[in-house]
Amino acid sequence: MVWRSVIGGVMAAGAMALASCVSTPPSDIVVITDARIIDGLGGAPMDDGVILIQDDRILAVGGADEISVPADAEIIDVDGKTVMPGLVDVHVHFDILGHANYGHWFGTYEDRMRSDIMPSAAQAMLRAGVTSVRDLGADVDNIFWLRDEIEAGRLPGPRTFIAGPFLRKTPTSFVSTDYVDTWVIESPEVGREKVRRLIDMGVDVIKTQDEALSKAELAAIYDEAHKGGLRVASHIYAADAVETALEAGLGPYDTIEHIGVNQDQNYNQNVVSLIVENRVAMAPTIIALEGVKMIINDPALLEDEAWRRDIPAEDLYADIQRSYRETDLSQHAIFIRSEADRMGRFSKLKHLYDNGAIFAISSDSGTRGNPHHNAMWREMVLTEQVTGMPRMGVIVAATAVNAKILGAEDEIGTLEPGKYADIIIIDGDPLEDLAAMSQIVAVYKGGALVE
């Protein structure tokens, strides 16, 4: 990286100061200079900006003329590049890496989650500038293990918030009985009891999935989650099921995952009013429905070096490639569904945005045709295209709004003093073209450079 050469000179000067027995200790401050800062608060970007970092926190942010830089600080001159808060993705899956066939994936690789798959996903997201994530459904033992490993610094990965299992009416069909990614809800009482158990175990969010849960069961789950201080992520497609979930009590910054999916053109006025008045956040996961089509249109995506690099186990990556090459993708369930409901999905998202709904940016990364290394920036691009949201609005949604959904807005999501120094540096201007978000040249998590 070009600016590294600047550091050498400064470090040498610092070493000389120590050698001559200067009594004040080195400041331990790292300074990013010559930055075009987009701070996540939504205001105009700042040119010639400076960020002071001490340990894992941001100490100060401002213009070069207003921030005084300690003489012995380590300088990182970014040469006018764009500097932003690390991205926050409120819908990811660590246990899948974009393979086309879930039945094959879980049937073949269930015992390689900890050795290969989850660490690969964690590394890929970090390298893509995603420094905080919310996993919305995985084997309970594995996802707690992963969160603990990352928190303890034993595995590189984003700050990880977890749901644990999907709460459903029926188990998922493609995993074994040893891989517990679903807890079945038989009644409202069972819903309350299982939410309390998850809260005791230490999950960060409650995830409901499938539309067979009754309004009474959803209401019990939501109420118990809210009483425990947790938000809810609700996975629902059909318009009447969305209405049921809203009436069951989805509240501020709870999310509706996959909002917009189904063929109706718009939601009725009751749905739109409940969403806007109750400040429920929309989590569209647009890319999760478009990834397979993108591979059909451009098979070279299967040769993406970033995808390969993030999956060191070569047999896994080869199997992912094979899963697309040896399948008639025009018959793939996701492709068929996506083609059938694209108009309806997009018109509903635009309608919700135009009516003032809060939008998250959520990629559902790891799903079919939707690998972790590019899911988030592609979701940002699609959000602008589909809703007409201004690019700055998309950036704020992917940082500050998502941090609020995680309940972590005091710690992450913007470049402000006191928050974690989760910072990405981009070679390009995402306010000109959000695809510049794919040109990340450096990622810092808690002030530490990601390798």
Residues that bind Zn ion (CB under 5 A): 364
Shortest Cβ distance from residue 133 to Zn ion (Å)? 12
Closer residue to Zn ion, CB minimum distance, 31 or 167: 167
Closer residue to Zn ion, CB minimum distance, 204 or 364: 364
Shortest Cβ distance from residue 96 to Zn ion (Å)? 9
Shortest Cβ distance from residue 91 to Zn ion (Å)? 6
Shortest Cβ distance from residue 255 to Zn ion (Å)? 11
Shortest Cβ distance from residue 418 to Zn ion (Å)? 32
By beta-carbon distance, which residue lies closest to Zn ion?
364
CA 100-101-104 angle, to 5 degrees, is 140
Closer residue to Zn ion, CB minimum distance, 49 or 157: 157
User: How deeply is 303 buried, as exposed, middle or buried, from its count of CB atoms within 10 A (0-12, 13-18, 19+)?
Assistant: exposed
Closer residue to Zn ion, CB minimum distance, 135 or 223: 135
Give SS3 for 3: coil
Closer residue to Zn ion, CB minimum distance, 95 or 217: 95
Residues sharing a CB contact under 8 Å with residue 108, sequence separation 6 or more, in sequence order: 319
On the CB side of 329, CA atoms within 13 Å amount to 23
Residues sharing a CB contact under 8 Å with residue 157, sequence separation 6 or more, in sequence order: 119, 122, 123, 125, 126, 146, 149, 150
Closer residue to Zn ion, CB minimum distance, 74 or 364: 364
Closer residue to Zn ion, CB minimum distance, 179 or 444: 179
Closer residue to Zn ion, CB minimum distance, 3 or 161: 161
On the CB side of 399, CA atoms within 13 Å amount to 28
Give the number of other CB atoms < 10 A from CB of residue 274: 17
CB-based contact 370:287 (threshold 8 Å)? yes
Shortest Cβ distance from residue 168 to Zn ion (Å)? 13
Structure tokens at 267: 């939601």
CA 197-161-131 angle, to 5 degrees, is 175
Structure tokens at 109: 């690789």
Shortest Cβ distance from residue 93 to Zn ion (Å)? 6
CA distance linking residue 409 with residue 402, whole number of Å: 8
User: How deeply is 392 buried, as exposed, middle or buried, from its count of CB atoms within 10 A (0-12, 13-18, 19+)?
Assistant: middle
Shortest Cβ distance from residue 360 to Zn ion (Å)? 13
